[in-house]
Structures are given as C-alpha cells and as structure tokens.
Structure 1
Amino acid sequence: MTDAVTGAARRAQLAASLTEVRERIAHACTAAGRPPDAAALVAVTKTYPASDVVLLAGLGVTDVGESRDQEAAPKADEARAAGATPRWHFIGQLQRNKAKSVAGYADVVESVDSQRLVTALDRAAAGRPEPIEILIQVSIDEDPTRGGAAGDDLWRISDAVADATALRLGGVMAVAPRDWDPDRAFERLAVLSGQLVERHPAATAISAGMSGDLEAAVRHGATHVRIGTSLLGMRNLLR
C-alpha cells in the first residue's frame, strides 16, 4: 500500500471521527442551553504522528494538545515544516527545566500549578511576539499526589500570572478524579472558575472534559474539551 493511499485512508478515518466528535460537542452544548459552538475542540495528539496533526489541520482543527515535551517539540517542528500551524496546547505535567523548550512552540500551557513554574515560563517566554496563555490546573479533590493547585494556591498563582510580562491568564483546567462523578467534579470547577473571574475578569476559559466525560464538562461551562481517543482512535490499533 502506497503512502498516498495510506494517507488518504487515514484522512477519511479522521474526517469521519471529527464529524462525530463535533456533532457530540454541539449536541452537548445545545442540551446545556448553550450555543452549539460554545465549547472548542482541542485534539489531543499525544502518541500520534505529526502527519495526523497535518491532516487534522487540513480538516479545520485549529487547536492540538500534547503532554510530553520530548514528543511535542519535534512534532511541532515537523508539522510546521508541512505547513500546519495550529495553536499548540501543552496539557501535561511540566517541569521547570522544560519551560524554555515548551515556550518555543506552545501557545497555551494548561498545566500550571505553582508560582515557581509561572516564574520559569515568564522568563522563558520573554521576547515572544505574543504572550503564552496560561490555564491554572486545579486539583478538584485537593489530593497532593495528583498535581494541580489547591486552596489559596489558586489565587496566589493567578495573581503571579497576571503580574507576569510574557504570560496571559486564560482561566482554569482540570481532570475529573477517577473516583468522582464527573458532574460533581466539573460543578466544583465551575465554582472555582467563577471565583477566579471575580478576581481576574478576563480569565474565563475552562478546559475540562475528555472523550468519556465531555458532556458533563459542557453542562458545567467548559469552553474547551480535550479529545483524543474518540477522535484519533486507540493507538495500538494503528500500528
């Protein structure tokens, strides 16, 4: 099978999945009494090749998410060389020593959970033409082993981002804990988002919901949903 035939088949597969995902998001928005385009799609392309990013960009996907810098940095370069320039969201746990690399390609960092990381990213992003949009990762259950800001750390981190020169505070991000009902988790996130907006009125973004729980996230105000499996398929089936 030639690369052209393989590429055409993959494009058709992605196009069909993308249609289904977009319809699912639109239906969830409508069911929640929101406009059908109220929640934007972030295609989570971790473990998938740059060729998928290029195909998705050609299908109209504007935002992609990655969680490992060692994979994302070369993938962003390869996609750019092929003419694909989506907004790159870094969504995984970020170590401060990776801040410079991530600042080289990421437009949005969704996993900021410490003031020290804010400082590292602000330094790394100096000189960029546009600031990096920052979403503060919230710990829904305040379990310190899961990562994410808890308690008053959310307000301290948000103030630090707002004071930074090369960053822009966008809002919050969270993953529903496995042992929590998604509605309960995202209702909690919505409350925290509302409190953040009172403090920083422009920080209205809520990144929440994945393939298994996007409807619950949309019901509670998600502005971005991070979809991997439902869009790109199970990775081991593509090998």
Structure 2
Amino acid sequence: MTQDPRPCPSLSAVQDRIAAAARLARRDPAGVMLIAISKTHPADAIRPLLDAGHRVFGENRVQETEDKWPALRADYRHVALHLVGQLQSNKAEAAVALFDAIHSVDRPSLVAALARAVAKTGRRPELFVQVNIGDEPQKGGCAIADLPALLASMRNAELRVAGLMAVPPAGVEAAPYFALLAKFRRDHGLDGLSMGMSDDLETAVMLGASHVRVGSALFGGRS
C-alpha cells in the first residue's frame, strides 16, 4: 500500500517521549527502535500505525502471527516482525521463517533448535537473550549465572546474537535492573539492549536501550 503517511496521535506521542528522553541522555533518537507491541490486537487496530509509516511490530505467539500478518504484509511493504513472547523449541523453525528478530532466547535447547532452523531455512533473525534480571521464578529468561555459557553456545552455533532483553520486576523502580542489563551488555561486547515498555521507556532510553517494546501507550489496554 503506497500513500502519504497519515497522522497517528498515539504513535506521535510515543515517538516524542523517546526523542525527549534521548536528548536528555545526549543520544540520537534514531538510535532507539520502537517496537509496537501488537499482540492480541486485530488488524484494524494495527493499520493506523502502518498508515502513519511505522513498520516495526512485536508479537507474542507464532500462531497469531501466522494468522494475522500475511494479509497486512501484502498491503504494507518493509514490515519487520519481532517475537517478544516465550518460544517453544518445536516452534523454532516457524519462528525463524516468520520473524526478523526473536527477543526470548533463554536456554540451550532453544539455541540448538534455532541453529537447526537457521541451517534449514537460510534465514538469520536477530536474536536477543532474555535475562531473568530479577531472579523471578515465574518469569522466563536465563539465570544471570548462565548468561556467559548461553552466549558462548549461540556464538559457537554462528547465530546472529543481537543483544540482551529483560523485563524488570513489577512494582519497583526499573532503573537498577536496566543499569545491570546495560552492564552485562558491555561486559559481553553486545550492541542491542531490548528494555523498556509504556510506563518506563524514558528510564530505559536514558540507560541505553536500543529497542523499546511499547503496547498500551500505542493501542490502549487489551480486552
């Protein structure tokens, strides 16, 4: 679909927040990628952002993405899809075929499955290691102590390691967790830092986020 961009107030507001935080941190706002988290939202809710020119979206499930995005991608060019939800190893091949980036690599069995999928399909999505930064048993992500070995296994498999991802514990100040993730990124010589959502994106940007994952500020609450 080729047309002039149409205004989307929610998108403009989030872009303004990112730019303001980046300026405070003396960063170029262009160095922060906004991933619009469109999981559970129907195509009609996504089209206004596409019509406004936004092209980077995050989904939670392989099946939902397979159902929803082929028609949208037929209408809009250059869309990049990021998987932000947990990934089962038996869905690795489908995920590699669908997504341009996967933000939830968290265990050796998934690394092995992704390596097989990359070898079979020839596609090489960017991969972020999800770190359980708050050591929360109910959350996905690799333990901090396991991070060096997991990264080594990905590099040995010649996968495309883009960076780290984390979701801080709810209800507490996010800054210390973002700062810790940024330290791990530096320690391991990585570029990408996927952190920050609707409520804390300014903090994430000021502490070095390269990717922020924003849903409710763009789409409103989910039913």
TM, length-normalised to structure 2? 0.91
Question: Is 1:141 aligned with 2:134?
Answer: yes
Q: Secondary structure at the match of 1:153?
A: helix
Aligned match for 1:155, one of 145, 148, 152:
148
CA RMSD after TM alignment: 1.7
The answer to whether the 8 Å contact 2:132/2:141 transfers is yes
Q: Deviation at 1:146?
A: 1.2
Aligned AA (1:160)? S
Q: Deviation at 1:180?
A: 3.1
Aligned residue in 2 for 1:192: 184
Count of residue pairs brought into register by the alignment: 218
Worse-superposed segment, 110-119 or 227-236: 227-236
Aligned match for 1:209, one of 196, 217, 220:
196
Question: Is 1:220 aligned with 2:213?
Answer: no
CA 83–39 in structure 1, closer or farther in 2 if over 3 Å, else same? closer
Question: Is 1:177 aligned with 2:164?
Answer: no
Q: For each residue in 1:68-89, what CA deviation from the matched residue of structure 2 results, as whole angstroms up to 9, or x when unmatched? A: 2221122222222223441110
Worse-superposed segment, 223-232 or 53-62: 53-62
The answer to whether the 8 Å contact 1:54/1:84 transfers is no
Aligned match for 1:25, one of 18, 21, 24:
18
Aligned residue in 1 for 2:3: none
Aligned AA (2:211)? H
Q: For each residue in 1:179-211, what CA deviation from the matched residue of structure 2 results, as whole angstroms up to 9, or x when unmatched? A: 4311111111111111121xxxxx310000000
Aligned AA (1:209)? G
Q: Secondary structure at the match of 2:188?
A: helix
Q: Secondary structure at the match of 1:70?
A: helix
Structure 1 distance, partners of 2:81, 2:167, is 19
Q: For each residue in 1:14-71, what CA deviation from the matched residue of structure 2 results, as whole angstroms up to 9, or x when unmatched? A: x111111100000011111212322110000011123444442332212110012221
Aligned AA (2:213)? R
Aligned match for 1:106, one of 99, 105, 108:
99
Aligned AA (1:191)? K
CA 84–56 in structure 1, closer or farther in 2 if over 3 Å, else same? farther
Q: Deviation at 1:127?
A: 4.2
Aligned residue in 2 for 1:230: 217
Residue ranges of structure 1 left out of the alignment (5+ in a row): 1-10, 198-202
